[in-house]
Chain A
Amino acid sequence: MAEGDAARAVVWLFEASPKIYPRAVSGRFALWRWAGVFITQAVFYGLPWLQWNARPALLFDLAARRFYIGPLVLYPQDFIYLTVLLLLAAYGLFLFTAVAGRLWCGFACPQTVYTELFMWIERRFEGDRLQRMRLDAAPWSLHKAWRKGGKHALWIVLALWTGVTLVGYFTPMRALWDQLMGQMAPISSALSAGLAPPVWGPWEGFWALFYAVATWGNAGFLREQVCKTMCPYARFQGAMLDRDSLVIAYDAGRGEPRGSRPRSLAHAALAAQGKGDCVDCGLCVQVCPTGIDIRHGQQIECIGCAACIDVCNGVMDKMLYPKGLIRYASQNALAQGLGTRAMLRRVLRPRVLIYSAILLLISAGFVASLALRTPFRVDVVRDRGALARLAQDGHIENSYRLQIMNASETAQRFVVGVRGLDGARLVGRPAGGPVMDGGLGAAGVAAAGGVGGIDARARADASADPSAAIDIGPAAARWASLAVQLPPAAAAQAGAGAHAFEFVIERLAQGDEPAAVVREKSTFFVPR
């Protein structure tokens, strides 16, 4: 190629992405997608409204650091469960992607779900593909303003409700709604029940608006840009698919050579005329939300929504050809001409089986761990000021603070003991310490006589007996300052240095909550 002769032009490396006008589609997979929309949104919008024993069934109270999931009260120390949930999600993802490709993207992803909802609204106001294209090309008029304005108004309402619902996972939803409606009575009832007043604060407002703007922007404008350029999930699909994964594929062997033909030409006679099944109507391109042509083959932009399958099947029906010119097929199936049976048998390959096994194991472990979990936790914090101290008559003392976290929703009583150190005994007044921290456990303080007062009975319980029971309110945590004391003879026998022992914290049986025991290791220092 002679360099100097060729004509040149200036090309811009950035270009505005052309707006995509997906055509409306109906069919089997569209129905599945709408089922996905209903189920996911029923869960998302519905869960915050459910109650469990007069409190929200699902509440992530960040300020009080308690996470209420149905009957469970989880502490930040239980974060491992969230990790395991993410692991489950990851392996579940690997599993169904290996089997049938981007099922998440096309049927359940919030981006798809909200885009679907927003596009439905858009179609109500602006019509289907051709009408939308014409409206956008038309000059501004009252008609256009009404269509566009109405669409955006409804979009904004939906987006705002989505934002408020998101905040409802962190602040009780019913109280938020009541406040929006101008009712304050529920707030005072929450206060008297010992709950922190769930109010619309600046942060609640900020996040509701932020999420609303994000929903409006992503579902209203960005749409496929998220899938094409922003979502990391889209990019590692390639690593999770193999040649036996079912993906949305155009059967080129059946469809080519494509082209128009008379309606009267029977399917059996197509081959003789040198025509494949594809009539080149271009509908598969028109319905595609990412604007690709699936006939080019497996592409990174394809989100697996199967709209092209639905619309092509519709055309095949009209032409009286068999369905499935575009269908879920694996690359091996297309290359080797496998039938459906043979293709599906390949689903149960080692990769899928291993993912299933791992998923099952992790799920079983997760459920078992939750079922067997002790309903309270203890953390032992040694005093850092002094290693050891000399008490009366030569006794050696080490002081500790035990944080006892009640993870049940009833007030509980705990007794602390010491094991593993000969001659050791507890000193101090653990039961005398007041409540230091609590979520709904402020109710414990309320139960003890209201905020600002504590009744004589509770105070009198603060005996000098370190084996006295410590009362902790529902979902509350409390510090107990204790010292472990060793008489001089036992200290001499144990010898100077660090000695391991354990605290034994016993929860007393109460009502239908059984007794439970937690052991926490610690060390006792005998000075030289």
Chain B
Amino acid sequence: MSDFTSGGWSVYIAAATLISLFACLALLLFASRRVVVLRADGTPDDTTGHVWDEDLRELNNPLPLWWMGLFVITVLFSLAYLWLYPGLGSHAGSLQWTSVQEHAQDQAQARAAAAPLYERYANQPAAQLARDAQAMGMGERLFVNHCATCHGSDARGSLGFPNLTDSDWLWGGTPQNINESIRAGRQGTMPAMAAAVGSPAEVRQLAQYVLSLSGSPHDSLAAQLGRTKFSTCAACHGSDGRGNPALGAPNLTDKVWLHGWGEAAVVAMITQGKTSVMPAHGGRLSAEQIHVLAAYVWQLSQPPGSVASAVAAPANASAATAAAPPAPTSAAQAR
């Protein structure tokens, strides 16, 4: 418990505190009376005794007794406080209070307060949670506190951090996949393949072929030459380049470039490889929280209106319940 190198310091602090406390009290008591000269008529001289400028005197009027009473009360309070709480060196206090314990108690209280809600949500599927404003509010707050630093507060990601609002998923986009990503984390490794591919020129040709897969601007001649090298990539990315969610291998045929755009970025990726890590949150968030959070993240990528219409009335699955969004009365958007 003690942070001191020697137990003697604890005694020193305790002694200094208590001695000061009693010294203040003693000072008050000893200084609360004084010997004064009696005037001719027998009344005590109520001045300080000094005379300035022939006739200027300073009165020394008594102070209210209740001030003294209050001071004594503060001393008694201090003693009680120091008995109950840590303050005298390493004495932990008879209540054994620590701020760590208080924090843990606050956390437990918060968890208990939220438990009924989470219990209710634990058995609901993501599609149902997505329609629940309160659940999505909780999901959004969880997201902002735990995910937004990397994925952005609008979940549109950043260089190296996936955009969670699009339909491109490295490890699968079902609520279960998302739940696992959050709980257990993910680690995707792109090995450095330059040695397997060949010379830098060949790597460049391969990069151009990869760019051609997604219809991005590319050098067709180089792409043709690089086509044969793609077999080294197919093991993870698939022979059609559509990726493999089981391995976290990206889909190379879409326009989502998580780690950079253009030939230089692709060449660097092939040459140096990359290991990307999504940290595991299973230890930080409870299973119920992850369930709600996963539902929130899932609905971010769903086309607007589809969630409501998909679950609104199971009996009338074909009925269009989504109303047209209202047109704003004035176009406040600059182009």
Contact = CB atoms under 8 A, between A and B. Distances in A.
A417 B334 contact: yes
Contacts of A12: 32-33, 62
Contacts of B328: 415, 467-469, 508
Contacts of B152: 383, 385-386, 389, 399, 483
A460 B64 contact: no
A126 interface: no
Given A386-B152, A417-B334, A434 B137 contact: yes
Interface stretch (B34-42, B102-110, B183-191): B34-42
Given A10-B33, A13-B62, A399 B154 contact: yes
B333 A425 contact: yes
Contact of A415 (B140, B153, B332): B332
Interface stretch (A171-179, A242-250, A447-455): A447-455
Interface stretch (A14-22, A112-120, A232-240): A14-22
Which has the most chain B C-beta neighbours within 10 Å: A15, A423, A424?
A: A15
Contact of B149 (A225, A384, A515): A384
Given A397-B156, A481-B153, A481-B154, A457 B332 contact: no
A323 interface: no
A415 B158 CA distance: 26
Contacts of A401: 153-154
Contacts of A509: 329
Contact of A9 (B38, B67, B307): B38
A461 B325 contact: yes
Contact of A8 (B38, B159, B165, B256): B38
Contact of A460 (B32, B37, B255, B325): B325
Contacts of A416: 332
B154 to A, nearest CB: 4
Contacts of A423: 335
Q: Taking each of B148, B156, B260, B322, which has the highest tally of chain A beta carbons within 10 Å of its own beta carbon? A: B156
A376 B65 CA distance: 55
A460 B323 contact: yes
Contacts of B32: 12-14
Contacts of B161: 386
A390 B159 contact: yes
Of the listed residues B34, B136, B322, B334, the one surrounded by the most CB atoms of chain A closer than 10 A to its CB is B334
A234 to B, nearest CB: 15
B326 interface: yes
Interface string A459-491: 111111111110000000001011100000000
B34 A11 contact: yes
A233 to B, nearest CB: 18
B246 interface: no
B304 A417 contact: no
A195 to B, nearest CB: 16
Contact of A15 (B65, B132, B148, B304): B65
Identify which of A17, A385, A416, A420 gathers the most chain B CB atoms within 10 Å of its CB: A385
A454 B333 contact: no
A392 interface: yes
A383 B158 CA distance: 11
A428 B137 contact: no
Given A434-B133, A452-B134, A509-B329, A11 B309 contact: no
Contacts of B67: 14, 229
Given A8-B36, A8-B37, A460 B326 contact: no
A445 B332 CA distance: 26
A316 to B, nearest CB: 33
Interface in B282-319: 303-305, 307-309, 312
B27 interface: no
B334 A424 contact: yes
Interface in A296-345: none
Contacts of B322: 456, 460
B157 interface: yes
A515 B75 CA distance: 62
B64 A225 contact: yes
A393 B255 contact: yes
Given A445-B134, A468-B328, A462 B304 contact: yes
A7 B38 contact: yes
B332 A506 contact: yes
B222 to A, nearest CB: 21
Contact of A225 (B62, B66, B132, B141): B66
Interface string B68-80: 1000000000000
A308 to B, nearest CB: 22
B156 A391 contact: yes
B17 to A, nearest CB: 26
Query: Which of A14, A433, A466 is most buried by chain B, counting CB atoms within 10 A of its CB?
Result: A14
Contacts of B60: 13
A454 B131 contact: yes
Contact of A453 (B131, B165, B303): B131
Contacts of B81: none
Contacts of B62: 12-15
> Considering residues B44, B68, B308, which has the most beta carbons from chain A within 10 angstroms of its beta carbon?
B308
Given A10-B33, A453-B132, A459 B332 contact: no
A389 B158 contact: yes
A428 B158 contact: no
B133 A17 contact: no
B66 A6 contact: no
B150 interface: yes
Given A393-B255, A463-B305, A399 B63 contact: no
A454 B308 CA distance: 9
A419 interface: yes
B261 interface: yes
Listed residue (A394, A434, A482, A505) with the most chain B CB atoms within 10 angstroms of its CB: A434
A433 B333 contact: no
Contacts of B253: none
B27 to A, nearest CB: 12
Contacts of A7: 37-38
B332 A467 contact: yes
B56 interface: no
A483 B255 contact: no
A418 B333 contact: yes
A363 to B, nearest CB: 36
Contacts of A384: 149
Interface string B113-154: 000000000000000000111101100110010001110111
A374 to B, nearest CB: 15
Nearest to A508: B329
A434 B136 contact: yes
Nearest to B67: A14
A436 B141 contact: yes
Contacts of B261: 390, 394
B140 A433 contact: yes
A459 B135 CA distance: 13
Interface of B: 31-38, 44, 60, 62-68, 131-134, 136-137, 140-141, 144, 148-150, 152-159, 161, 165, 255-257, 260-261, 303-305, 307-309, 312, 321-323, 325-326, 328-335
18 contacts: A9-B38, A10-B33, A12-B32, A14-B68, A15-B62, A15-B64, A17-B66, A229-B67, A383-B154, A385-B148, A386-B152, A386-B161, A415-B332, A453-B131, A454-B132, A483-B152, A506-B332, A509-B329
Shortest Cβ-Cβ A-B pairs, 6 listed: A417-B332, A460-B322, A481-B154, A459-B308, A15-B62, A454-B133
Given A383-B152, A461-B325, A466-B333, 11 more contacts: A9-B36, A10-B35, A16-B65, A386-B152, A389-B156, A393-B255, A419-B334, A426-B333, A445-B134, A460-B322, A508-B330
